[in-house]
Amino acid sequence: MINLEKEIREQPEALSRVLDLNLPVIREVVEKAKANGVKNVYFAARGTSDHACVYAQYLFGIFAGIPCTLGTPSVFTKYGAHVDLSGNLVVGVSQSGKAEDVLAVLESAKKDGAITVAVTNNTDSPMAKSADYHLFCGCGHEASIAATKTFTTQMTILGAMAAVWAGCDDLLDAFRALPAKAQEMLDAKYDDIMAFAEKYRNIPGAILLGRGISYCIALEGALKMLETNKLKMKGYPTSDFHHGPIAQVKPGDLVFVLSPKGATSGDSRDIIEKLLNVNADVVVLTDDASEAPAGTTPFVIPATGCEFTFPQIAVMFFQLLACCMTIVRGIDPDQAGVINKITITK
């Protein structure tokens, strides 16, 4: 079994322990932040970790009413500017914990007296050692170039922080239910996803659309497909796609619409109608078959019962599709040419 598939299949176990590993520290972080009057969270990350922070932005806003900034590390490292982060909770996220520009943000924030947190899968990493607090993915070594289990654990760690901040036990319970749903996804949907891979093995690329809580998966799903299969993929927020980007869609173009049942259902229906009017090939990834109207191809994933944990299961669809497409296309996803597992940006 290739590393990519092996690590995708390790996610139920990783998700089953990530809360126990981190909740005590998360509660300390939140208690300290509230005692210090923190009113803003500043995230610094790159690549897949950046997408986990997009997910967290929504949860902090929806449940805790806390504004979040998705940071710009180049401001610190390339332009040599000082951004005053005093009074913020500053969270650096990196699978390896070696991202030099993210580390620079944490170190600058510490000098400003901000509370700093590192979320990594490496307890001995520079970021883990630099930050005031370390939150640990704890999902074992990740060898595949494409991050999978580190992404879902990062999302869950950050989501748990938002839940604790908001005092929302229901959301924590939804995270605790994820391992069983992740296992169901792996057991029940693999053959269907392999069939998708066979059907779309020769596509030049595709567009992924998601709004709100699903937007991070439009970004991450596109990244998994392009870095493993070298396809031209692009993720967009559904709301922005109306404002110009839809003009690129031609008859037969493949578009994935992420459509969990919930607050953004109407937005999904609106964009699907426009896409069908230009004869796009529309795949609706959903947890409820009623979200996929006639003329689309539905793919129904296990419902978690909570739209805010839809992303952890939805991303597994794209992880598995990327993996299956490498199989049918004869590609080794662990040999990605110009891409390295650990990319150090400065």
Residue type, 211: R
pLDDT at 346: 62
Element (H, E) at 318: helix 310-329
Q: What is the token pair recorded at 56?
A: 């967290």
Nearest in space to 230 (alpha carbons), one of 297, 127, 105, 145: 145
Q: Of all residues in the chain, what percent carry a pLDDT higher than 90?
A: 93
Instruction: Kindly report, residue by residue over 159-173, the tens digit of the pLDDT.
Output: 999 999 999 999 999
Name the nearest CA neighbour of 209 among 146, 295, 306, 280.
280
Q: Is the confidence at residue 104, as pLDDT, over 80?
A: yes
How far is Cα 236 from Cα 135, in angstroms, rounded to an integer? 29
Amino acid at the residue 30: V
- pLDDT digits over 186-238, tens only? 999 999 999 999 999 999 999 999 999 999 999 999 999 999 999 999 999 99
DSSP state of 120: E
Name the average pLDDT for the chain: 95
User: Do residues 11 and 152 lie in contact, with contact meaning Cβ atoms separated by under 8 Å?
Assistant: yes
Split at pLDDT 50, 70, 90, the class of 345 is low
| pLDDT score at 338 | 44
Report the distance separating Cα 245 and Cα 72, nearest Å. 25
Note the pLDDT of residue 334.
72
Q: Name the residue with tokens 């749903």.
A: 181
Q: How far apart are the first and last CA of the chain?
A: 34
Q: For position 342, what pLDDT does the model report? A: 56
Q: Which two tokens stand for residue 286?
A: 């959903």
CB of 49 within 8 A of CB of 95?
A: yes
Q: Which helix (H) or strand (E) element contains residue 206?
A: strand 205-210
Helix (H, G, I), strand (E, B) or coil at 69: strand
pLDDT at residue 2, as a whole number = 87
Report CA Rg, the chain. Answer: 19
Instruction: Report the DSSP beta bridge partners of residue 232.
Output: 205
pTM for the structure as a whole: 0.95
Report how far Cα 179 is from the mean position of its chain's Cα atoms: 16
Stretch (H or E) spanning 15:
helix 11-35
* Predicted confidence (pLDDT) at residue 333 exceeds the cutoff of 90: no
Rounded to 5°, the CA angle 224-261-294 comes to: 85
**Strand-strand pairing, 41-45 and 68-70:** parallel
Q: Decide: 301 and 189 in contact? Cβ < 8 Å.
A: yes
Give residues with Cβ within 8 angstroms of 54, minimum separation 6.
70, 215, 216, 219
pLDDT-based confidence at residue 145 (cuts at 50, 70, 90): confident
Residues sharing a CB contact under 8 Å with residue 194, sequence separation 6 or more, in sequence order: 324, 327, 328
